Amino acid sequence: MVSFALVGCQNDPSPKIETQPSKRPNILLILADDMGYSDIGAFGGEISTPNIDQLAAGGVRMSNLYAAATCSPTRSMILSGVDNHRAGMGTMANNQTAKQLGKPGYEGYMNYNVVSVAALLQDAGYHTYMTGKWHLGNTEQLSPKARGFDQSFALLQGGAGHFDDTTMFSAFDKAWFRENGKRADLPDHFFSSEFYTDKMIDYIKTNQNDDQPFFGYLAYTAPHWPLQAPQDYIDKYRGKYDDGYNALKEKRLLAMQELGLVKPDVKIIPSYTPETADWNGLSEQDKKNKSREMEIYAAMVDNMDYHIGRLLDYLEKSGQRDNTLIIFMSDNGAAGADNGKNKAFPQQWIDANFDNSYDNLGKIGSYVYYGPHWAEASAAPSRLFKGFSTEGGLKVPGIINFPGKLEKYKGQINNQFMTILDLAPTFLDLAKTKHPGTNYKGRKVIPYTGKSAAAFLNGTSDTVHGDQYTMAWELRKRASVRKNDWKMLKMPKPHGSGDWQLYNLKDDPGEVTDIKIENPEIFQEMLKAWDDYVIENGVIMAEE
């Protein structure tokens, strides 16, 4: 069903690989974790992000970039180049239902039915480096080293303390890390964004004087909960959010409209979050606590930007910046998890193991997240946030910066559709190599399903997918199909009706008004596209 061109020759198990370094660019993918659409300055945010904004000013903002609804499905799609239901992350690890357990595509790790783009770039003569969050398998055989990275320092689980190895989940005693495949401990004076940047710089330095380009995958854990940041960064935002999340929604919307990211007639949609409280109805202490949560979150984004600046500065001083493609994006929409209401990190466990007194919030030993109301502000005017197949869960901020390229779009906003499935084939094209098709070193693999954006990046095409494209998503029975401007969405209660609904995103970006009755032919086309997607990708819906 998914109408993407395949990259490579499906029948040739040993494609010709060009290992000559001439003009092949370095490739650096920087992935933020759970960062909302409008958090950075270039996308309308009030958070100080001068280095990311500089990337946008010298590159292009992709306003219609789509990921998966949660982190590990996105990561599997980025690296495998195929739908998460085929790559092993049909749902999050340990979330498989009885009907899904043991089924292909629901392994809970990136399976060996796919070949990592890192492995193919490694075969093509690239140095390959990875630092940060992996979340695609815990064993050495499933580690970054086993999937094509020369050097790596990886957090294996979905999150951790940012100052130490405190676990994010009640089921673990602590977070796990691997360096080059082997279990590793954290150094003293650790802070996540600083350390992962240091490691990436160190890895690149080891080979900076040879003739081989590099592929770097820098997967920050900021601003994923537990929210923690250096105190001086938190202090920068003291009082910044005292007007509350509804005021922030309006401020962000106005900023995005002024930038041209959102049309002038778009309005803030009603909250879809149950038990949403009016800010003015909160107690003064609750307002104080919730303001502090957002202050810490902003501090994490600000601090991440600072460390991105350090990496950019190193690339510039080492003479590598002009030959480096940089892509910056978030892995999914803003995280709207509500404090203590998830069985993986229940309130009783938080209360028993962490100090969430006001003075300790954001410091080592605290465990807090900013909840659904701030997440809605980060996602507005889109509907909902991480975990949902709505625009607020799937559409992410994206920046492409490629020195000497994209000159006609420099500093602009590009509204064309693009997906994370397009990244792997793009990287291979730029590396002048190909996917092997259906056979990789003697094992059967699935060809990439995205479409290379290399022609767009090189200025020989104005588009990646043209005017006709189809894409579908599913996670935890929350499903959607997008076909051009049409979007079909199915959401279980209480966040949806439980039935398929149809929207036109051009007129209704907030997915508010169901128009399937008025458009029966389009609705039937979308249903057919969904059925094709289920069959092609082996989707097994969770039990009702």
Residues assigned a catalytic role:
71, 135
3-class secondary-structure state, position 470? strand
Dist. CA 124–CA 19, nearest whole Å: 5
Phi-psi region of 391 (alpha: psi -120 to 50; beta: other; left: phi over 0): alpha
CB-based contact 112:143 (threshold 8 Å): no
219, with CB counted inside 10 A (0-12, 13-18, 19+), is: buried
3-class secondary-structure state, position 501? strand
The CB density around residue 305, as the number of other CB atoms within 10 Å, is 24
Dist. CA 410–CA 400, nearest whole Å: 10
Dist. CA 499–CA 485, nearest whole Å: 20
| CA angle 242–245–251, rounded 5-degree value | 90
CB-based contact 494:250 (threshold 8 Å): no
The CB density around residue 189, as the number of other CB atoms within 10 Å, is 8
Q: What is the CA radius of gyration of the chain?
A: 22
Dist. CA 13–CA 388, nearest whole Å: 38
3-class secondary-structure state, position 8? coil
3-class secondary-structure state, position 29? strand
For residue 351, give both structure tokens: 């209360």
Dist. CA 529–CA 507, nearest whole Å: 22
Q: Residue type at 135?
A: H
DSSP string, 216-262: EEEE--TTPSSP---HHHHHHTTTTTTT-HHHHHHHHHHHHHHHTSS
Bridge partners, 65 (sequence order): 396, 418
| CA angle 64–70–75, rounded 5-degree value | 80
Dist. CA 460–CA 462, nearest whole Å: 7
For residue 186, give both structure tokens: 């954290």
Q: Cα 117 vs. chain centroid, distance in angstroms? A: 17
Three-state SS letters, 334-356:
CCCCCCCEECCEEHHHHHHHCCC
| CA angle 238–243–246, rounded 5-degree value | 125
Cβ-Cβ contacts under 8 Å for 25 (sequence gap 6 or more): 213, 323, 324, 325, 402, 430
